[in-house]
Amino acid sequence: MNVQNLNSFDPFADEGDPLGGNQDVGSTQNYLHIRIQQRNGRKTLTTLQGLPKEYDPKKLLKAFKKEFACNGNLVDDEEMGQVIQLQGDQRVKIANFLTEEGIPKNTIKLHGF
């Protein structure tokens, strides 16, 4: 009596390593993340993380504050580096501003409700 289904067969053996050994699963290195955080009541806070090194966050923050007529500041984070925080829901405005400045739209991730 020969049972065929007890043989060990690996259907993915010929594929090799699908990640190539150098990519992280769920990597967020190449994306700009624009998030919204709820404060108290109707107050919200918009954050921008993952800004490339060639952009100066201080100059960008100054341009955001002038363009959107809101206050904001620069916060140092251990994981994400410098994070730009703006008052109010400025997600769409920030995304449009950054695409006009030459950042590709597919590298910008909008988060929130």
pTM: predicted TM-score of the whole model, two decimal places: 0.72
pLDDT of residue 78: 86
The answer to whether 31 and 107 have CB atoms below 8 angstroms apart is: yes
Three-state DSSP string of the chain: CCCHHHCCCCCCCCCCCCCCCCCCCCCCCCCEEEEEEECCCCCEEEEEECCCCCCCHHHHHHHHHHHHCCCEEEEEECCCEEEEEEECCCHHHHHHHHHHCCCCHHHEEECCC
Phi, psi for residue 13 in degrees, rounded to 5: -65, -35
pLDDT of residue 77: 85
Question: Going residue by residue through the chain (113 aa), what tens digit of pLDDT does each one get?
Answer: 566 666 676 666 666 655 555 555 444 468 999 999 999 999 999 999 998 888 899 999 999 999 999 999 999 988 878 999 999 999 999 999 999 999 999 999 999 87
